[in-house]
C-alpha cells in the first residue's frame, strides 16, 4: 500500500519587468502548470484565471537640494525619495463568505502585502526609517 501523498499543484510564474528613468516595475501572475499544459494542447483557455499582481517603484516627484528631480537610482545621494505601489489580485472561490472566513482572508492579504513590502525594502537596502 502506498502512503498518502497530496497532489502537488505546480505553478509557473508569468513575469514582466522593466526599469527606465521613471522607475521600475515588476508584474507577475502565478498560473497552474496543469492549466498551461491543457491550453497548449488546444483546450479552452478562457477559464484559466490570470490574476496579475506586482509593484512599481518611482520617484516621489520632490526636488533634491540642488533643485533637480531624481534622475537615476544610482545617484541616491541627491534623491529625495521614492514611492512604492503594490497591487495584488486574489481569486476568492466562495460565494458566501462567513465573517470568520472574511477576517481570515483580510489577515492573509495583510500578511502578504506586509511581507512583500519588507522583502522589497531588504532588496533595496532601505532602513526602517525610510
Q: Could you tell me which residue, 44 or 98, shows the higher pLDDT? A: 44
On whether both 84 and 102 belong to a single domain, the answer is: no
The domain tally of the chain equals 2
Whole-number percent of the chain with pLDDT over 70 = 68
Q: What is the pLDDT of residue 76?
A: 46
On whether both 9 and 60 belong to a single domain, the answer is: yes
Task: Find the Cα–Cα–Cα–Cα dihedral 37, 8, 26, 102, rounded to 10°.
Answer: 120
The pLDDT-based confidence of 42 (bands split at 50, 70, 90) is very high
On whether both 83 and 117 belong to a single domain, the answer is: no
On whether both 66 and 83 belong to a single domain, the answer is: yes
Q: What is the pLDDT of residue 124?
A: 83
On whether both 75 and 124 belong to a single domain, the answer is: no
- Give me the mean pLDDT over the 119-126 stretch: 86
Give pLDDT tens digits for 54-78: 999 998 877 666 555 444 444 444 5
On whether both 50 and 28 belong to a single domain, the answer is: yes
On whether both 101 and 57 belong to a single domain, the answer is: no
On whether both 76 and 104 belong to a single domain, the answer is: no
On whether both 116 and 79 belong to a single domain, the answer is: no
Range of the domain at 66: 1-91
On whether both 52 and 1 belong to a single domain, the answer is: yes
Q: What is the pLDDT of residue 48?
A: 86
On whether both 64 and 38 belong to a single domain, the answer is: yes
Q: What angle do CA 24, 26, 32 make, to 5 degrees?
A: 175
On whether both 50 and 86 belong to a single domain, the answer is: yes
- Cα separation, 108 vs 110, whole angstroms: 5
Amino acid at each position: 500500500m502506498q502512503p498518502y501523498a497530496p497532489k502537488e499543484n505546480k505553478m509557473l510564474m508569468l513575469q514582466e519587468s522593466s526599469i527606465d528613468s521613471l522607475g521600475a516595475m515588476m508584474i507577475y501572475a502565478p498560473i497552474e502548470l496543469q492549466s498551461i499544459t491543457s491550453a497548449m494542447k488546444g483546450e479552452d483557455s478562457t477559464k484559466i484565471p490570470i490574476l496579475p499582481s506586482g509593484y512599481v517603484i518611482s520617484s516621489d516627484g520632490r526636488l533634491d537640494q540642488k533643485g533637480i528631480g531624481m534622475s537615476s537610482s544610482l545617484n541616491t545621494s541627491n534623491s529625495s525619495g521614492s514611492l512604492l505601489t503594490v497591487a495584488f489580485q486574489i481569486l476568492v472561490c466562495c460565494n458566501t463568505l462567513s465573517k470568520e472566513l472574511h477576517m481570515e482572508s483580510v489577515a492573509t492579504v495583510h500578511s502578504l502585502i506586509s511581507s512583500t513590502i519588507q522583502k522589497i525594502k531588504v532588496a533595496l537596502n532601505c532602513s526602517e526609517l525610510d
